[in-house]
Amino acid sequence: MPTALLKKAVLARDSASCEYQHQNILATGWKIEELRRHIDLVETFQEENEGCLDKAPEDLKLFESFLLVHSLAEIRTGYMALICTYHEDILELTPADEELDHLMDPLLDAEGLGEEGSAIGQL
């Protein structure tokens, strides 16, 4: 089979799927970061204003607005679930990445590109 045809077959089969998974993992990572910062904000607000909230209705309303959609416990549960999903996605993607690398290496070597010369080798 010609190298160009084989390369296109490998790319059609694996590369797009792997890239989609990479983007999914990246998005999950950013969601985890968002929740981590939200938890930190709420906990800091709680610590700094403990005991004062009864005397300051405006601060109480602000604090409640942070928790309006979900309680801190619900946010922590969602955070932990996202971390589990993130790790599962990485574990699922690793064999696909390795398989793609294994299939692409001979093709890239044949074209004189090797891993350094290709974005595909960088995945």
pLDDT tens per residue, range 44-87 = 887 887 766 566 677 667 766 766 677 778 888 989 999 999 99
- HSE of 118 in the Cβ direction (CA atoms, 13 Å)? 20
Question: 24-56 burial by CB neighbour count: b if 16+ within 10 A, else e?
Answer: ebeebeeebeebeebeeebeebeeeeeeebeee
Is the pTM value of this prediction over 0.75?
no
